[in-house]
Amino acid sequence: MSTGSFKHTFRRIMKLRLHLGLSNYRSHRMINQWFKWLSPGLFIKRWMAVSATGVLVASLGLAISTGMTPIYYILQLLKNLLGWITTVVPNYISGPLMIALGVVLVLWSQTRSLNSISEAFYPAGDEQLVDRLLSHRRLLRGPKIVGLGGGTGLSTLLRGLKEYSANITAIVTVADDGGSSGRLRREMGVLPPGDIRNCIAALADEERLLTELFQYRFTAGDGLTGHSFGNLFLTAMSEIEGDLEQAIAASSKVLAIRGQVLPATLTDVNLWAKLADGRRIHGESSITEAKGKILTIGCIPPNPPALPKAVQAILEADLIIIGPGSLYTSVIPNLLVPEIAAAIASRNVPRIYICNIMTQPGETNGYTVSDHIKAIDKACGYQLFDAVLTQGTVPPANALIRYAQEDSHPVILDRDMVKQLGRRIVMSNIMDVDPDTGYLRHDPYRLAQVLLRWFGKTNP
């Protein structure tokens, strides 16, 4: 009998219970949970069948070893019992009922045993083990996605993508030299952990608690003031494991994140920029503070070697996403690693750039969408993406006023120029507005939904 027939029989039983006034929400929910165990892809039904086969084989072995005497009497008893049942209840009713009862007993026993095991590994909560397994299998079947960037932009993207796939690789810039990361870089000689910290927190299952913990900044203590717990955690792990790559891998296992976070390079990279007024500015944080028009950007040492795992992830990716984030200090630094840029350029898979919603003072004053694209093409020498995702609606008035006070304005979509550059335009409302402050960010879940929908259309 098919699963559909079992379900139909159960529905008829449930209707009967409704007429008798015995049905309730809990029993209905329990039935639905049982049938989830029969969902394809869980690898449960096959092991249930193997278990049943094992019982039959063991019974056969017992019969052979005892000369079949016990089994013979048991079979005779069953024959008489079944004969009596069919005389009382016709076989076309008693048969399906007995089958349904058998399935209920198997599902109930399996569910109880698996839930007993799961209680040892998961904290108490409303989510059932079968729901966790279904979600786990669905995420494992998700596309292999590589996201490149830094700052808060990449972590925002990851927060939405992890709901669609567990096969995510975040490639993060290590050029940050400001704040807590900059202090640790100068004092401890470690690569800046700040952007990596944000991405690990964004990919964690217990994201809210972990983000609060990792973002916690000490306000007192000799040498601790201003440092975030997450930065100190990763720095300590780097000392224990030997380098940042191993520290991230160990931290990711402990925190059970969906996907992996990789630095673009393990080289100690420092950014420099040449401005239109002739100045040459060194340091990621100094470039933005210089408030000049950036003509050229590079790094010291030039052409740093890429982390091999990062290159491998790009070569195996089904979808490559660049941005969002500060153009010159978060997005482009990853692409200054030649092997990273070359690997992206070599791929014939959907590749998309997420353009910022607003211009950034000190980096992209007056920039249009095509200006962002030209800057990326110029920095790495390749056409790395074939589509650009832009905000489809104008921000609300209170947000525009707030940003105008900081000399920041919406990034204008110059369609004709973007098309001349050979890029497809994907436009959608991916903006999240804080109603109180007017602060703008990309909505992580809407952003991920748009990207996966576009990916499905371009990669059927």
**Whole-angstrom Cα distance, residue 245 to residue 453?**
32
The pair of three-digit structure tokens given for residue 13, joined into one six-digit string = 């039983």
Element (H, E) at 354: strand 351-354
**Tokens standing for 253?**
């296992």
Write out 238-264 in H/E/C secondary structure: HHHHCCHHHHHHHHHHHHCECCEEEEC
pLDDT for the residue numbered 192: 83
Residue 21 tokens read as 């006034």
Based on DSSP, count helices (H) and strands (E) in the chain, helices before strands.
Answer: 20, 12
CB–CB of 160/449 below 8 Å?
A: yes
Give the Cα separation of 334 and 316 in Å (integer): 18
Q: Which amino acid is at 79?
A: K
According to the model, what pLDDT value does residue 22 have?
A: 43
Strand pairing report for 431-433 and 440-442? antiparallel
- Whole-number Å distance between alpha carbons of 35 and 100: 12
In angstroms, the CA 307 to CA 288 distance is 27
Among candidate residues 96, 97, 131, the one with its CA nearest the CA of residue 111: 131
Low-confidence ranges of the chain (pLDDT < 70): 1-48, 63-64, 66-71, 106-107, 110-136, 182, 206-207, 220-223, 460
Q: State residue 423's pLDDT score.
A: 96
At residue 29's C-alpha, the angle toward residues 25 and 30, to 5°, is 120
**pLDDT in the model for residue 26:** 52
* β partners of residue 319: 145
For residue 207, give both structure tokens: 């994201």
Q: Just give the CATH number of 143-173+264-458.
A: 3.40.50.10680
The 3-state DSSP class for residue 373 equals: helix
**Contact yes or no for 292/199 (Cβ under 8 A):** no
Q: How many CB atoms neighbour CB 80 within 10 A?
A: 10
Residue with tokens 């020498």: 381
Domain map (residue ranges) of the chain: 143-173+264-458, 178-259
Query: In DSSP terms, which residues pair with 271 in a beta bridge?
Result: 299
Q: Pull the structure tokens for residue 222.
A: 């000799």
Query: What pLDDT, in 10s, does the model give residues 22-58?
Result: 445 455 555 565 555 555 555 566 666 777 777 777 7
Compute the distance between CA of residue 92 and CA of residue 94 in angstroms, rounded to an integer.
6
Burial state string for 427-440 with b = 16 or more CB within 10 A and e = fewer than 16: ebebbbbeeeebeb
